[in-house]
Structures are given as C-alpha cells and as structure tokens.
C-alpha cells in the first residue's frame, strides 16, 4: 500500500467522533463476488468510522476498483480504520489519500487581477506610463491611497507562530497554513482581501517595527497566534502607532463571539448576566479579553483559573498580567482549584485545554448550567460526559451544536471597519458586533442547541459589519460614512 499524503499521528485521545478534518479516500480493489463490498463497509463500521462517498473507478473481469471516503475522529483513529480495511480478505488497498493534506497542496490562496490585460492600452493604463499619474496623485494627496489602491479592502494577518491553535510555538512556516486559512475565511465571509504575514522573529520590537513598515499597503492589521504576554504589548504599541485598525483576533474575536453566545444562552435559561457566577479556565490572551468584555457587559462575579487554581489579589508568583486580572475578578476571593470553583457556578467558560475541569465538577454546578468548553480540537470536558447534567453546551468544534467560532466575528468586524476607513476598532465597536451576532438568532429560534448562528449563515457578516460601521461613526473613528461606495467617482481627481 502506498500513501499519497502523509497521515500525521495525533495523541489527542478524543475518541471516535468522525469528521471531515480526519478523513481519507482509499482506493480499494474488491474481488467480484457477492458480499465483498459489505465486508468493506463492515470493517469501517467495526472500527468506528463513517463511510462517506463511494466512487466506482473501473470494472475489470475479476475485480472492481473503488474510491471510498472514510471519516475518523483523529489521525490515530483513521489509521485504525485503514488497518481494519486492509485486513479484509479479498480486498487490496492500493493507496490512501489524506483529504485534508490534499486540500492544502500548493496552498489555499492565489493573487488574481481585477482588471484584464488584453491590449497595449490595458497595459499602458494598469502599468507604465499611466500608473505614474496615479502615484503622483497619491503623493500629492496621501488620502487617495484609500480609493486608488488595494488598501481600501486589504488586511494583513500577522503571526510569529508562537501560539498556533493548540499546537503552541511551532514557528512561522508551520503557522502559514493556518494564516492562509484565515485569509480564505476573510474573503469568503467578509469579502475582505487578507494576506498572511508570518514573521521569523519573536522579538516584540522587531515585530512592531516590521508591521509598521508594512502598514501603508493595508487597511487593517489582524494579529494572530502570538503568545501571551507579548501579544498584549505588540497590540498596544501598534494601536498607539498606526492609524488603521489593529485587532488581535485571539483576544477580541473570541470575546465578541463568547459574549454573543452567552447573551443568548442566558436568555434560554432565564438568567441575567449581572446575577450569574462565571468560572473561566485559561487567563491568557483569549481569557483575559473575554473576561474584560463580560465585565463591560455587566458581569459581576467572574473567577479566573490557571493550572495552580483560582487567581486572587495577592496570590504569590502572579505575572503582572495575571495580577491585573485578579484585581478585576474573584470578588469572593476564592482560593481553590478550578473544580472547586465550579461548585454552584452558573457558567463555565473554558479557554484552556483538555482536562482543565472534570465532569464531576461540572455536575456540581448550579441548575440549568451553561458550559462553553472551547479548547480545540479536544474540549476541556467532553460534551458526551456532561450532556445530561447541564442545560447548554457549546464548543469550538464544528461537529457539535453551538460552535463558538471567531469566523462569526472577524470578517464582519473588519468589513465594517474598512467600509468606514476606521482609524481603530474600539470597545464600542466590539460590543456592537456581539449584540448584532446575538441578534442573528431570532427569539423564536433560540434553543439549548442553537444559541449562536452557523458559520455558514450568510446574514451574519453583513449584520455585524453594519453594526460595527455605525458604532465607528458614533465613536468618531470613521473617516467616511459606510453608505459611500468604495469606488465613488467623487473620490477621483477632477479637472
């Protein structure tokens, strides 16, 4: 058996919860006799896999060749399925193609021109000599760069590869596929042209200098997968220096979507954000920003936890960032483990990793409890272990109900910011985005398994963009009204 694309090992221990992210197409040769395909299907099922597409490649005198797609829960599970199929008598596996690797071959992005170059006239206007007139117009009035270049619709996705997904510090090259994927999401859901910028440095000063130097070509900066606490300093300094939006999605995108989901979840269970007790595990970039956003929205009792337990004022060994977090939270000064902090809590928000809390601790939460277990790919606590014990469960995964995914926020946030040529993204704009996102689920649609819209709901990004643009205008950070078209002739030079 040959392998078209390498299938990496995964020690997640998640178990078989099949999804397309761990799927492969097997080219198999089956003998022409009754029951041969049934034996193949039974092998897949007995290994806990799901049988997907089945395509007939060719028919021979003694055999049929088929391409069979299987879905698994993780890479190790996929290996077990392939082994089970390979053991079937009268069946030969010619090769295995990992569908996710195949999707990434050659990258996921390309640059395409907006105007065709078919004649000398086309070339003379798009490039020399005509383009010199455009450059001169911008030199005379730099604000025209917004209407005469790609700046009006282009975002830089900047990462140093130090906090990629749940993989940690894997470097800028390994971060590139993730940033490419982010760019695809920007375009698909927000119509924003985004480009991945993966930097071969972890030095905060160098990152800031590089982004500032690159900024003339972009209408916004999306910081991504930069580890804490450096990410806070990078964002703060860039916001102070640049007059375009700087948005660390791991912080603010997460906070927007969590707030939207929580507002709707609280409506379902009949509780108010001012009254509930909230426990957060993971107080890094996402946890800190989410907590600040929830406090702004009215939450009064939030307890943050790291690996050592609850954060409280005066706890020995806290970093400056964690000390600041502790000063804002834990009003009852709990000094205990995350499990113990969950006793009687109404809401659990996991922004940490698998096993951060136990199922038994979740079962000790208040009646009609809400659990957001968002570690990816393996949640802090598996939904299957607590589904009968809490009212609402949400995760970061697409194969469970209530997926809390940043793609619900950042395309619309940047769409609204770019449409108004905003100088920054303010807390008011972020709160408006969360409210618009929550409102995308109509009151008669709200349910325990539907508190947040699908990422494929095409109404979401326009709703968020409209709310963000209006908030930008109210906050006085918009350079123009969103109602003005990006190619308004009024912005062209007049004779």
For range 91-111, the mean pLDDT:
90
Whether 258 and 292 map to the same domain: the answer is yes
Cα dihedral value 217, 221, 227, 228, nearest 10: 130
Whichever domain contains 38, its CATH number is 3.30.70.260
Whether residue 68 is predicted with pLDDT greater than 60 in this model: the reply is: yes
Q: What is the mean pLDDT of the chain?
A: 91
Q: How confident is the model at residue 451 (pLDDT cuts 50, 70, 90)?
A: very high
Among the listed residues 31, 64, 108, 127, the single catalytic one is 127
pLDDT at residue 299 above 50? yes
Of the residues 31, 64, 144, 182, only one is catalytic, namely 182
- Two tokens at 439? 């409102």
Residue 172 structural domain: 146-244
Lowest mean pLDDT among 74-78, 255-259, 301-305, 339-343: 74-78
Please give the pLDDT value at position 186: 96
100 and 190 co-located in one domain = no
Confidence of residue 13 (pLDDT cuts 50, 70, 90): very low
In a domain, 412, yes or no: yes
Our answer to whether residue 325 is catalytic in this structure is no
Same structural domain for residues 319 and 397? Answer: yes
Residue 167 pLDDT more than 90? no
**Low-confidence winner among 227-231, 279-283, 462-466 (lowest mean pLDDT):** 227-231
The pLDDT of 342-357, averaged and rounded, is: 96
- 290 shares its domain with 238: no
Q: Which residue has the higher pLDDT, 439 or 6?
A: 439
- Contact at 8 Å (CB) between 338 and 357? yes
The pair phi, psi for residue 349, each rounded to 5°, is -120, 115
Peptide bond into 377 cis (omega under 30): yes
For residues 352 and 282, the answer to whether their CB atoms sit within 8 Å is yes
Cβ pair 365, 386 in contact under 8 A: no
Q: Report the percent of the chain where pLDDT is more than 70.
A: 94
The mean pLDDT of 475-482, rounded to a whole number, is: 91
Q: What is the pTM of this model?
A: 0.86
pLDDT attached to residue 168: 87
- pLDDT on residue 463: 96
Q: For the beta carbon of residue 444, count every other beta carbon within 10 angstroms.
A: 6
**Is 417 among the domain residues?**
yes
Is residue 306 located within the same domain as residue 437?
yes
Catalytic-residue membership of 127: yes
What confidence category does residue 21 fall into, taking pLDDT thresholds of 50, 70 and 90? confident
Residue 343: pLDDT band (50, 70, 90) is very high
Q: What is the pLDDT of residue 489?
A: 54
Q: 339 in a domain, yes or no?
A: yes
Q: What's the CA gap between 1 and 164, in Å, rounded?
A: 33
Q: Is residue 254 part of a domain?
A: yes
Mean pLDDT of 269-292: 95
Q: Confidence class of residue 491 from pLDDT cuts 50, 70 and 90? A: low
- Residue-wise pLDDT tens digits, 183-207: 999 999 999 999 999 999 999 999 9
Do 305 and 175 sit in the same domain of this protein?
no
Within 33-130, residue ranges assigned H as helices are 36-46, 75-86, 99-104, 120-126
Q: Mark whether 233 and 320 lie in a shared domain.
A: no
| pLDDT of 250 over the 80 cut | yes
Is residue 199 within 8 A of residue 207, CB to CB? The reply is yes
Same domain, 206 and 98: no
Can you say whether the dihedral through the CA atoms of 258, 466, 431, 196 is positive or negative?
positive
Residue 5 has pLDDT above 80, yes or no: no
The predicted model gives 31-60 an average pLDDT of 89
For 379-432, what is each residue's pLDDT tens digit? 999 999 999 999 999 999 877 899 999 999 999 999 999 999 999 999 999 999
Is 71 contained in some domain? yes
The whole-number pLDDT of residue 482 equals 77
DSSP 8-state code for residue 429: H
End-to-end, the C-alpha distance of the chain in Å comes to 71
Distances (CA, A) of 292 to 288, 296, 303, 351: 6, 6, 12, 14
How many separate domains does the chain show?
3
What is the Cα–Cα distance from 58 to 7, expressed in whole angstroms? 26
The tens digit of pLDDT for each residue in 409-423 reads 999 999 999 999 999
Q: How far apart are alpha carbons 391 and 376 in whole angstroms?
A: 21
Give the pair of three-digit tokens for residue 131: 């383009």
Task: Report yes or no on 141 lying in a domain.
Answer: no
């Amino acid at each position: 058996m040959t392998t078209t694309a390498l299938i990496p090992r995964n020690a997640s221990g998640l178990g078989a919860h099949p999804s397309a992210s761990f799927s492969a197409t097997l080219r198999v040769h089956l003998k022409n006799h009754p029951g041969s395909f049934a034996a193949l299907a039974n092998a897949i099922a007995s290994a806990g896999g799901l049988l997907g597409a089945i395509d007939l490649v060719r028919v021979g005198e003694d055999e049929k060749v088929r391409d069979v797609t299987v879905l698994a829960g993780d890479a190790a599970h996929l290996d077990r399925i392939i082994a089970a199929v390979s053991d079937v008598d009268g069946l030969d596996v010619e090769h295995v193609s990992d569908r996710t690797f195949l999707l990434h071959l050659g990258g996921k992005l390309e640059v395409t021109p907006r105007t065709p170059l078919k004649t000398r006239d086309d070339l003379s206007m798009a490039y020399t000599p005509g383009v010199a007139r455009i450059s001169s117009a911008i030199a005379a009035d730099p604000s025209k760069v917004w209407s005469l270049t790609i700046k009006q619709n282009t975002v830089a996705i900047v990462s140093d590869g130090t906090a990629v997904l749940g993989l940690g510090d894997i470097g800028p090259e390994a971060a590139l596929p993730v940033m490419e994927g982010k760019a695809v999401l920007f375009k698909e859901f927000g119509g924003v042209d985004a480009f991945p910028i993966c930097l071969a440095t972890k030095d905060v000063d160098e990152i800031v200098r590089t982004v500032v130097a690159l900024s003339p070509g972009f209408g916004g900066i999306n910081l991504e997968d930069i580890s804490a606490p450096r990410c806070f300093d990078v964002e703060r300094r860039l916001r102070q220096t640049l007059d375009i939006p700087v948005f660390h999605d791991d912080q603010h995108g997460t906070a927007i979507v969590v707030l939207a989901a929580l507002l709707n979840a609280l409506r379902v269970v009949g509780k108010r954000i001012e009254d509930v007790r909230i426990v957060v595990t993971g107080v890094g970039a996402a946890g800190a920003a989410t907590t600040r956003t929830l406090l702004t929205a009215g939450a009064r009792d939030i307890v943050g936890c790291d690996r050592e337990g609850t954060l409280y004022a005066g706890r020995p060994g806290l970093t400056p960032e964690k000390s600041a977090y502790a000063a804002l939270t834990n009003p009852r000064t709990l000094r205990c483990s995350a499990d113990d902090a969950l006793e009687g809590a109404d809401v659990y928000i996991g922004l940490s990793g698998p096993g951060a809390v136990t199922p038994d601790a979740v079962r000790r939460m208040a009646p009609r409890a809400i659990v957001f277990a968002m570690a990816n790919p393996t949640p802090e606590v598996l939904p299957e272990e607590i589904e009968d014990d809490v009212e609402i469960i949400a995760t970061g995964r697409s194969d469970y109900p209530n997926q809390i995914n940043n793609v619900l926020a950042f395309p619309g946030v940047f769409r609204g910011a770019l449409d108004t040529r905003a100088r920054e993204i303010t807390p008011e704009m972020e709160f408006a985005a969360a409210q618009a996102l929550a409102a995308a689920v109509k009151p008669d649609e709200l349910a325990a398994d539907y508190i947040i819209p699908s990422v494929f709901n095409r109404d979401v990004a326009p709703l968020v963009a409209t709310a963000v643009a209006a908030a930008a205008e109210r906050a006085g950070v918009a350079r123009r009204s969103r109602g003005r078209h990006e190619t308004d002739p009024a912005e062209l030079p007049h004779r």
